[in-house]
Every structure is written in structure tokens, then in C-alpha cells.
């Protein structure tokens, strides 16, 4: 495995203005992601986190601004090549019809396969490894529709992994997951970042996870970047109080030294 240098920029978005018909959401947001890096996008509901992720993933075309992947403009890249480079996992993980866990994960190999080619042993190995990594070995033959929300989330993460992407875009990857699996997901992605130089961009509602695992954090509010940089720089009491409109306590975990963020008091009662 090649270890890409942390200085190689794999994805760059410049001055993105984007939204939905009649509803502008993002106003001039720029980011940069390097190989092996994890960028956490945080902010209140409606700030534009998912929208930004969708712009990066190519499903929303920005009204202004550009996205570059591995140095090339996004719209110049063929769909399937893009799918081999960037993998996205959305918030909703619905599956119509009775597919098994393994079949879903194997779907991640689709961008690598031609129309009539069956999955090869190599593809099965990759899928197996992805199942293994997200603790899904036991569930391989189960129907996805029968699984819990958390299990299904892991299946979709495994599918993204099977795509062998250089960049993973994850929208609320820890929603539905219990404490054990939250920690594991981040641990797995850290492994992938070190082993393969995979870059991860994740929207998180959990500020502590962002503080703990991300290399850089983007704080979004009302579609604009409020702060962008290392967690300690971005997640300050001042920034957070302004953005979340509530008192916040920012400190250090006495045993680990990690940055922690907690609400300080109940919001003021309405007059």
C-alpha cells in the first residue's frame, strides 16, 4: 500500500454557492482536504452541512464555485471513474427489495465492473474485508431490510469501503450507532486513513467526536463558514456560543487531555 503524503490535496472546493430550487443554502464556502485527513463539518441544523457534502459528492451542482477532485474539475470526471474515487454514505439507508448484506456490499464493486461481468474472487475478497472491518461477518447472509438502523448504517459504510475510494463522504455516520460502534467506526476510518491515505469528510452533530477524531473542522452556520482549521482553533467557546446561541463549556478531559464541549446551562427562559 502506498502511503500518500498528508500534503497531497485530494479534494478542493472553492467559493461554493449552492442550494435547492428557490432555496439558496451555501454562500461562498471553500474547503480543502488532504490525503489521509479527516475533515469534520459541524454546525446547527439547517446550516448546510448535508448540502455541502452533496456538492462534494456531485449530486448537487453548485450555482457558483468549483469542486476539484485529484486536481481535476468534478464535472469533467466520468461518473464511474468518480464512483471509484469518491464514496458517499447518506443519512438515509433505505433498500427496496430483499437484498442480503453481502449483496449490498458487493454493489460497491459496481463502478469497477462491466455490465455483464460477475463478481470475481478478488471482488469477493474486498467485500469480505469490508464486512470484516465493520463487524458484519455474522450478518452476511441476512436481508438488509431485517436489520436495525445501526446495522444497516454499517452495511452502507462497508459498501462505501468496497468501492475502494480515495475519499469518503459520510453524512452523519454515527447516527443510530451505539457507543461501542461509534468508537469503532472512527477507529476503522483512522486505520483506513493511515493504511491507504483515504481522506474522510464527515458531517457530525457530535462536537466531541469532531474534536477527538478530526484533523480539521469546518464550522458552518447559515450556509457560511464561521471557522475552519484545527479543532482547538475552531471549537472555541466564543464561536460555539455565537453559532449555537447557547452557553457552552469548552475544556479538556482530565484523563485524556482531549478537547470536550458541553452545554453550560439551560437556555434562558423566554420572556
Partner 1 sequence: MATRCRQVNAPASKSTPEAHLTRAALLSILGALTILLVVCAIAGLLFGTAHISLTRAFSDPDSPDHAIFFAARLPRVLMGVIVGAMLAAVGTALQALVRNPLAEGGILGISGGGALGAILALVMSAKLGGGEALVPLCAFGAALLSTVAVYRLAMVDGQLEPFTLLLVGVIFNAFWGAAIMLVNSVVNFYYAHSILFWLMGSLEAPTYREAAMVAGLGLAGFAVLMYRARDLNLLSLGDESAAELGVDVDRLRRTIFIATSVMIGAAVSVSGIISFVGLIVPHTLRLMFGADHRLLLPASLVGGAAFMVAADLIARVAIAPAEIPVGAITALCGGPFFIYMLRREGRRSFSL
Interface residue list for partner 1 (CB under 8 A): 21, 54, 57-59, 79-80, 82-84, 86-88, 90, 92, 94-104, 106-108, 110-111, 113, 115-116, 118-119, 121, 124-125, 127-128, 137-143, 145-146, 163
Nearer to partner 1, 7 or 138 (CB): 138
Nearer to partner 1, 62 or 231 (CB): 62
Return all residues near 113 (Cβ < 8 A) that are at least 6 apart: 119, 123
Nearer to partner 1, 94 or 179 (CB): 94
Note the helical H segments in 6-109: 49-56, 79-85, 101-107
Q: State the nearest-atom distance from the C-beta of 91 to partner 1, in Å.
A: 10
Q: Choose among 235, 265, 227: nearest CA to 252.
A: 235
Element (H, E) at 185: helix 179-196
Q: State the nearest-atom distance from the C-beta of 172 to partner 1, in Å.
A: 14
Which residue in this structure is represented by grid cell 475519499? Answer: 167
Element (H, E) at 150: helix 149-162
Nearer to partner 1, 109 or 193 (CB): 109
Q: State the nearest-atom distance from the C-beta of 179 to partner 1, in Å.
A: 26
Nearer to partner 1, 21 or 257 (CB): 21
Q: Choose among 46, 93, 73: nearest CA to 223.
A: 46
Q: State the nearest-atom distance from the C-beta of 173 to partner 1, in Å.
A: 15
**SS3 category, 12:** strand
> 10 Å Cβ neighbour count for 26?
27
Q: State the nearest-atom distance from the C-beta of 141 to partner 1, in Å.
A: 4
Amino acid at each position: 500500500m502506498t502511503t500518500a503524503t498528508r500534503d497531497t490535496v485530494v479534494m478542493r472546493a472553492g467559493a461554493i454557492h449552492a442550494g435547492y430550487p428557490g432555496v439558496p443554502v451555501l454562500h461562498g464556502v471553500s474547503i480543502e482536504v488532504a490525503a489521509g485527513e479527516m475533515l469534520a463539518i459541524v454546525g446547527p441544523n439547517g446550516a448546510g452541512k448535508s448540502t455541502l457534502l452533496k456538492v462534494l459528492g456531485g449530486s448537487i451542482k453548485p450555482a457558483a464555485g468549483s469542486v476539484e477532485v485529484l486536481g481535476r474539475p468534478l464535472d469533467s470526471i466520468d461518473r464511474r471513474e468518480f464512483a471509484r474515487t469518491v464514496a458517499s454514505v447518506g443519512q438515509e439507508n433505505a433498500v427496496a427489495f430483499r437484498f442480503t448484506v453481502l449483496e449490498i456490499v458487493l454493489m460497491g464493486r459496481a463502478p469497477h465492473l462491466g455490465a455483464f461481468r460477475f463478481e470475481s474472487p478478488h471482488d469477493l475478497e474486498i467485500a469480505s474485508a469490508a464486512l470484516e472491518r465493520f463487524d458484519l461477518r455474522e450478518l452476511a447472509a441476512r436481508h438488509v431490510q431485517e436489520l436495525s438502523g445501526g446495522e444497516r448504517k454499517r452495511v452502507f459504510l462497508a459498501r462505501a469501503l468496497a468501492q475502494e475510494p480515495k475519499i469518503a463522504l459520510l453524512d452523519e455516520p454515527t447516527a443510530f450507532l451505539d457507543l461501542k460502534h461509534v468508537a469503532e467506526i472512527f477507529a476503522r476510518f483512522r486505520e483506513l486513513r493511515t493504511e491507504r491515505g483515504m481522506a474522510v469528510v464527515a458531517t457530525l452533530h457530535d462536537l466531541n467526536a469532531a474534536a477527538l477524531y478530526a484533523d480539521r473542522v469546518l464550522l458552518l452556520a447559515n450556509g457560511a463558514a464561521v471557522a475552519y482549521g484545527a479543532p482547538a482553533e475552531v471549537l472555541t467557546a466564543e464561536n460555539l456560543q455565537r453559532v449555537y446561541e447557547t452557553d457552552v463549556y469548552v475544556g479538556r478531559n482530565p484523563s485524556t487531555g482531549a478537547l470536550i464541549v458541553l452545554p453550560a446551562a439551560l437556555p434562558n427562559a423566554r420572556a
